[in-house]
Amino acid sequence: MPGLPATHAGSRSDGATRSASPRHYLMCPPTYFDVRYSINPWMDATRPVDRKLAFSQWAWVRDLYRDLGHHVSEMTPVEGLPDMLFTANAATVVEGRVLLANFRHKERAAEVRAHHDWFRAHGFRDVYAATYVNEGESDCLLAGGRLLCGTGFRTSRRAHGEAEEVLGRPVTSLTLVDPRFFHLDIALSVLSEDEITYYPRAFSPESQELLGRLYPAAILATDADAEVFGLNAVSDGRHVVLSQEATHLIGQLRDHGFIPLGVDVSELAKAGGGVKCCTLELRTGLG
């Protein structure tokens, strides 16, 4: 299991000490991980995949979460679904209410049934099927009392209203314009209830202006940070798990009082995913 570095409690710019809150994550082992098709700019079916290395990288992230005191549930992978390890794409969960994905690409459609069955088997009673194209927490991130929802490449703009109704949180819609950053969670990361980091050029001018108003103190990622999936990160309010290659962003996070924990997700990135894509937060509302 990964050892944690010796660290001290960081502080926010307002002087408040940062503290981690316990989280519950759903992950899926990359037993059948592969790149057999190309549905995003990062996928190249001619490049070989090292499944053993992918599993090692995935397991390192899982074990790191557990070392940090978080609970990780694992679901059983299904043969023939090579992207099923990217659980964040499959649903959004708020206060125990689950809005399942409705994938844009047919290659991933069967993942929805597998996730539906997992949620039902594990006591989630309010499980809803999305009417419109909706790619789960990869395009719908909870930030305090609001949902930041992306559109432009995958999730339909009409899905935002449905998410607001089902999940009971007001939605702020953001338009993505760079096809490399086709999901919100590879262009923006929620660090705490009122703090984010994002890559401005991934968004339309209108969305950049909106984010600037909502989060004037946001950490702005560089091209280099974004291109190595540095924004595909997971934060518990104090620790931020992200790609070890995002060195500038790691420095920025440290300067803002966070404890960044860099991990190697290079093999997973061949399919267009990283830390966050492998991590679906299960918010039950039970504390």
- For the question of residue 140 being annotated catalytic, the response is no
Q: Which residues pair with 195 in a beta bridge?
A: 192
154 CB neighbour count, 10 Å cutoff? 24
Active-site residue identified among 28, 140, 277, 278: 277
- What CA–CA distance (Å, rounded) separates 92 from 22? 18
- What CA–CA distance (Å, rounded) separates 195 from 258? 11
Residues 6+ apart with CB under 8 A from 174: 148, 149, 150, 151, 184, 188, 203, 207, 210, 211
- What CA–CA distance (Å, rounded) separates 114 from 230? 29
Are 89 and 110 a contacting pair, CB within 8 Å? no
Active-site residue identified among 70, 160, 183, 256: 183
Name the pairing type of β-strands 234-235 and 219-220. Answer: unpaired
- What CA–CA distance (Å, rounded) separates 28 from 280? 10
Q: Which residues pair with 259 in a beta bridge?
A: 239
Are 176 and 199 a contacting pair, CB within 8 Å? no
Q: Exposure pattern of 190-211 as b/e (b: 16+ CB <10 Å)?
A: bbbeebbbbbbbbbeeebbebb
- For the question of residue 149 being annotated catalytic, the response is no
- What CA–CA distance (Å, rounded) separates 43 from 37? 7
Question: Which of the residues are catalytic?
Answer: 183, 277
